[in-house]
Structure 1
Amino acid sequence: MKKAPNYFLSIFKMKCPRCRRGPMFKDANPYKKLKLSHIFDMPETCPTCNQKYDLETGFWYGTGYVSYALAVAVSVTTFIASLVLFGVNFNDNSIFWWLTANCILLVLIQPWLMRLSRVIYLYFFVKYDADYEHHKPKEFDHHQ
């Protein structure tokens, strides 16, 4: 049996949750073309294990919640870092400097966050299968 690729590394490398080897996006660089069609350009199935990525119509709508949670996590992290490093407080304008910098950062990393939210969301539904060559890919069960 093959050694399982690292869970978190597979997420950040945006690999298929089932085999953790196949790419989830046709182009690894989300910034190559700043168009939604490019940012979300995914093969229908994993080229390595044949796992279908879009499990059902409207499946990706749930990624909005994941993307929101990631944006909040980034914002909390930058706020705490600014608080510790620069002494951000509410008594002067430093809170507005943090807010501006945080907004700019969120806009700049948005293409990556959008992709990462898809990867994380799919990882909730499709589990790793070390023996994926001998098992059928997961299909969405409408009776759950």
Structure 2
Amino acid sequence: MKSRSLLASLFTYKCPRCRRGNMFTDPNPYHLRKMFSMPKHCPECGQRYELEVGFWYGTGYVSYGLTVALSVFNLAWYWLIFGISVGDNSIYWWLLVNALILLVAMPWLIRFSRVMYLYFFVRYDPETEQLPRSDKTSPAS
């Protein structure tokens, strides 16, 4: 069986060790009451998600970097399409558009930063391919 690619695993919130188990109990980040709901261990390989007490505090730095990158991207496309000058209020319009985009993207960015942060510390283990798949994720025959 071929393993999932790194990018596919990142963007679908899969365990970094086996790339099969879901990191969140609810796959939709916009269910805000369940946004941080994670099992303690991977349902497929048993990898512990919170490696130490306070482990997730580091995701703030990852989330900040992603937010800055998204803001720079928003500035680039806004500047190319609408233009920004000091003579009018276009910079304020960009700030408003950027704030709205970041507000809508924030639940996804928060979850994605958790996944990225865990991927920094836990490496893929090809031997997990030999583990039996759990009933929840096995393909239907």
TM-score under structure 2 normalisation?
0.88
Task: State the match for 1:8 in structure 2.
Answer: 7
Q: 2:95 aligns to what SS in structure 1?
A: helix
Task: State the match for 1:138 in structure 2.
Answer: none
How many Å separate the matches in 1 of 2:5 and 2:127?
16
Task: State the match for 1:87 in structure 2.
Answer: 83
Q: Is the 8 A contact 1:17 1:122 kept in 2?
A: yes
Q: RMSD of aligned C-alpha atoms?
A: 1.4
Task: State the match for 1:120 in structure 2.
Answer: 116
How many Å separate the matches in 2 of 1:60 and 1:24?
13
> Residue type matched to 1:14 in 2?
Y
Task: State the match for 1:51 in structure 2.
Answer: 47
How many Å separate the matches in 1 of 2:12 and 2:85?
36
Task: State the match for 2:137 in structure 1.
Answer: none
How many Å separate the matches in 2 of 1:71 and 1:90?
24
Q: Is the 8 A contact 1:49 1:133 kept in 2?
A: no
Task: State the match for 1:19 in structure 2.
Answer: 18
Q: CA deviation at 1:133?
A: 5.8
Q: 1:72 aligns to what SS in structure 2?
A: helix
List structure 1 runs of 4+ shifted beyond 3 angstroms: none
Q: CA deviation at 1:86?
A: 1.2
Q: CA deviation at 1:14?
A: 0.7
**Residue 78 in structure 1 maps to residue 74 in structure 2:** yes
Q: CA deviation at 1:3?
A: 2.0
TM-score under structure 1 normalisation?
0.86
Uncovered stretches (5+) of structure 2, i.e. residues with no partner: 132-141
Q: Is the 8 A contact 1:18 1:129 kept in 2?
A: yes
Task: State the match for 1:129 in structure 2.
Answer: 125
